[in-house]
Amino acid sequence: MQGLGVSILDLPQGRSDPAPRRPAEEDLLAERARGGDRLAFARLYERFAPAVHGVLLASAPREDASDLVQEVFLLALRSIARLEDPASFGPWLLSIARNRARDALKSRRTAVELPDELPVKLGTETKDEEDGEAERALEAVRELPVAYRETLILRLVEGLSGPEIAERTGLTHGSVRVNLCRGMKLLRERLAKGSGR
């Protein structure tokens, strides 16, 4: 799983992070952004872009995830004035991301297969193998229940810690820890079956 930057089979079973503290600064930034402060919204973008990318990667086509991040934030910018509680910015934003991922899957057209006779660029075989391995691992994660899928991608792909996942998703630290632990167990089992171990 080199393409994702970490070996899933080598990760620890669990860890005890301190309970997350909801940053008052995020609430203040959301309140200011709700009032039209573009700089505050830009700071929220910096903090939440990895979480949004992870949520999209959990469901939407991998090649579309980066573009969809931009769409999610554009949708959020256009509707942030209607956000009732600035403290719920993270969960609100991630629900926009989930909806956008669903829409992207619905509107995705069937890909046209290219003929086998097309020439292959030299030197792309190793990259193709790494991409294939990363794609297989991502598909294994996508087969998991949604709660496990999102928290695993936020941890393994986006590199967020347990407390950071809790802060950005609105989940409790305990829920994140349980989702990561159970999700890792299921993922290890699936990957072990797939590799013939």
C-alpha closest to that of 86 among 124, 49, 41, 141? 41
- In this predicted structure, what is the pLDDT of residue 195? 65
Position 125 pLDDT exceeds 60: no
Q: What number is the average pLDDT over the span 152-158?
A: 91
Rg over alpha carbons for the chain, rounded to the nearest Å, is 18
Which residue type does 182 have? R
- Convert the pLDDT of each residue in 49-75 to its tens digit: 999 999 999 988 888 899 999 999 999
Could you give the angle at the alpha carbon of 194 between the alpha carbons of 188 and 197, nearest 5°?
Answer: 75
Question: Which residues lie below 8 Å from residue 173, measured CB to CB, with a gap of 6+?
Answer: 17, 19, 20, 162, 163, 166
**Would you say residue 118 has pLDDT above 90?**
no
More confident call, 134 vs 157: 157
> What is the rounded CA–CA span in Å between residue 58 and residue 99?
12
* pLDDT value at 97 more than 50: yes
What band does 18 get if pLDDT is binned at 50, 70 and 90? very low
Residue bearing the bigger pLDDT, 117 or 49: 49
Q: What integer pLDDT is reported at residue 5 of this predicted model?
A: 44
Q: CA angle 69-74-77, nearest 5°?
A: 125
Summarize the chain as % helix, strand, coil (round to 5).
70, 0, 30
pLDDT of res. 172:
93
pLDDT of residue 127: 57
Task: Supply the pLDDT for residue 16.
Answer: 43
21-107+128-195 is classed CATH 1.10.1740.10:
yes
Higher pLDDT, 196 or 131: 131
Confirm if 180 and 14 have CB atoms less than 8 A apart. yes
Q: Give the pLDDT of residue 20.
A: 47
CB 183 within 8 A of CB 144: yes
Place of tokens 């409790």: 172
**CB proximity list for 167: less than 8 A, separation 6 or greater:** 20, 22, 23, 26, 90
